[in-house]
Structure 1
Amino acid sequence: MTLYYSLVFLLLVLEMVIFLALIVPLPFTWRRKLFTFVSESPIIAKLQYGMKITFIFILILFVDSVNRVYRVQIELAAASKSDGRGGAAVIGGSERMEVQARKFYSQRNMYLCGFTLFLSLILNRTYVMILDVLRLEEEVKAYKGDPAVKGKGSSLKDAGNAGEIGRLRDELKAKDRDMENLQKQVSSMQNEYNRMGDQVSGSTSTPRKGQ
């Protein structure tokens, strides 16, 4: 197995571990804190962006493996026709084994990439469904007057993709810093303008006093 297919296999194992972690029954408070951290962490947001790029490459590998399986199937079909007709272009035993091996590896790579992509969709949908359930449980507990959530507001109300809230908060902080810097520049320019205005008014009023 080549290096990139080994990395795809490791990613598949990681997805299986994450899926098991999502479906493990946990108390409401623990699960709420976990999903709040996932939604607000900027590190998770960066990892999610990197995973999207990774899945694009896996999709390319999947298409390539499907193409290889199709070509091997055509080659085997042509060999079977040659065997049936008794022609001279019959593939030998070693060559047939080589073609069968290429077929096996191509199918293995196709299934590996396909299951990795499919499990990524399942993980995304499972995360969204669990998040919706937590929101509903939080609302029900708030209506019942549960002190664990009463007065805190819904921490999962605006949660969407992993790390989305953290990324938005970072962008808001960056915009606030830019706004503060802009206000400082405007204030300094206003002070400089007033100073120059005072100098100009003073220089124009001095000759009049001499007259």
Structure 2
Amino acid sequence: MTLYYTLVFMLLVAEMALFMLLIVPMPFTIRRKLFTFISESPLVAKAQHGLKITFIFILILFIDSVNRVYRVQQELALATENNSAGGRAAVMGHERLEVQARKFYSQRNMYLCGFTLFLSLILNRTYIMILEVLRLEEKIKQYEGTERNTKEAEKLAVAGEPGEIARLKRELARQQQDNDTLKEQAAGLSREYHDLAEKYAQTQQDDVPKKLK
């Protein structure tokens, strides 16, 4: 196996290990910290950018390996036809073994690159789905906390603490006293208004005969 296909194999093993790490059950807090670090770390972002370039080269290798498999299959079919036609049987048998070996290596490289690319897509989609699940779980926990706080506030409003009830009673008594004071002031103003109205009416009646005289 050449150097670049060895690197592709190592990347495939790393992807398998990372996939196992993603699907291993973890507590919510640990999983949230891990994925927060992965999504916010600048080093991970740079590594992801480098991996994207690497996967482009792996895609080129995959296309090349598919092309090699196709050509080797054509050579193998041609060798089979020549062997069935007769002539140079021993030599053609050796050539057939060589072609089959090249076919095996080409198929191995094709499967290696193909599975590496396929697993990269699965990892990307799994990572996105886990992030969405974590966001939903976070929203659910926030909603449960808000609902719990609301219920506790309602219970306190119904039951109340002794000091709080006493304070509310004092405020209610103060407001009732203010209302009574305002009512008394309004009644006094109303009486003064009626008195002034009667005096004004009397002055108007006294002025009318004088004007007639």
The interval holding the TM-score normalised by the smaller chain is 0.5 to 0.7
Give 2:106's aligned residue: 106
Note if contact 2:8-2:116 (Cα within 8 Å) is conserved in structure 1.
Answer: yes
TM-fit CA distance, 1:92 = 2.3
Q: Percent identity?
A: 75
Query: RMSD of the TM alignment (CA)?
Result: 1.5
TM-fit CA distance, 1:11 = 0.1
Q: Deviations over 1:71-111 (max 9, x none)?
A: 00000111111222225688522221111110110000000
Give 2:26's aligned residue: 26
Q: Does 1:84 align with 2:79?
A: no
TM-score normalised by the chain length of structure 1: 0.66
Give 1:117's aligned residue: 117
Equivalents in 1 of 2:57, 2:110: separation in Å? 13
Equivalents in 1 of 2:116, 2:91: separation in Å? 35
Q: Deviations over 1:36-55 (max 9, x none)?
A: 11111000000000000000
Equivalents in 2 of 1:51, 1:83: separation in Å? 46
Letter in 2 for 1:23: I
Equivalents in 2 of 1:79, 1:2: separation in Å? 27
TM-score normalised by the chain length of structure 2: 0.66
- Per chain length, whose mean CA-contact separation is higher, i.e. which structure has more relative contact order (CA < 8 Å, sep 6+)? 1
Task: Kindly report which structure 2 residues correspond to 1:29-108, keeping only aligned pairs within 5 A, or say none.
Answer: 29-86=29-86, 91-108=91-108
Equivalents in 2 of 1:87, 1:77: separation in Å? 16
Q: Which has the larger radius of gyration?
A: 2
Letter in 2 for 1:7: L
TM-fit CA distance, 1:6 = 0.2
Letter in 2 for 1:45: A
The number of residue pairs the alignment matches comes to 146
Q: Specify which structure has the higher proportion of helix.
A: 2
